Amino acid sequence: MRTPHQILGPFFPLGLRPVTQGDLTIVEGACGHAQGEIIELTGRVLDDKGRPVPGARLTIWQANTFGRYMHPNDLNPAPLDPNFVGFATIRSGNDGAYRIRTVKPGPYPVGPDWMRAPHIHMDVQGQFERLITQMYFPGEPLNASDRLLMSVAEPDLLIAKPLRHTNGDHHMLQFDIVLACG
């Protein structure tokens, strides 16, 4: 099934240059590493027939481990992390595969009665279509009450799958993205 569409969100990065190497845990010119739980996200961009979409552009943005975006309109009082910008653009390989190393984003308040579940925004530009979506984390208690996740017919299509092994200091997740026509 096609990966469900989600909103672009209010905190798309402004005035920042995206990282292009797929590792959001380091910032060029900074002396440290991003704070938080390191994760490695792998997956493939596929069409609805299961064929890989080579060269798809994935633009990724997310909150830091404290639940704050590096965006001037984010009024969350959570701290910024000087070693994390949370914004990258990468391309899928010839087999449709992509890989991102980042930190698990924290939840954040949207209003007095709603906390967003941790998620990563994705803008996927295939050969013939564009999909804006969000990826959520498995086993996250806030998933069940996240209004955007629960607004889609098949929320499980937006939740990454844990991979059985870990890679040293971080957890590995898989999130395949299915475009209707690639």
**Hey, which residues are catalytic here?**
69, 108, 116, 119, 121
CA pair distance 79, 69, nearest whole angstrom:
9
Give the pair of three-digit tokens for residue 151. Answer: 């607004």
Residue 132 contacts by C-beta under 8 Å, 6 or more apart in sequence? 5, 6, 7, 8, 121, 122, 123, 124
CA pair distance 179, 182, nearest whole angstrom:
5
Give the pair of three-digit tokens for residue 155. Answer: 């929320």
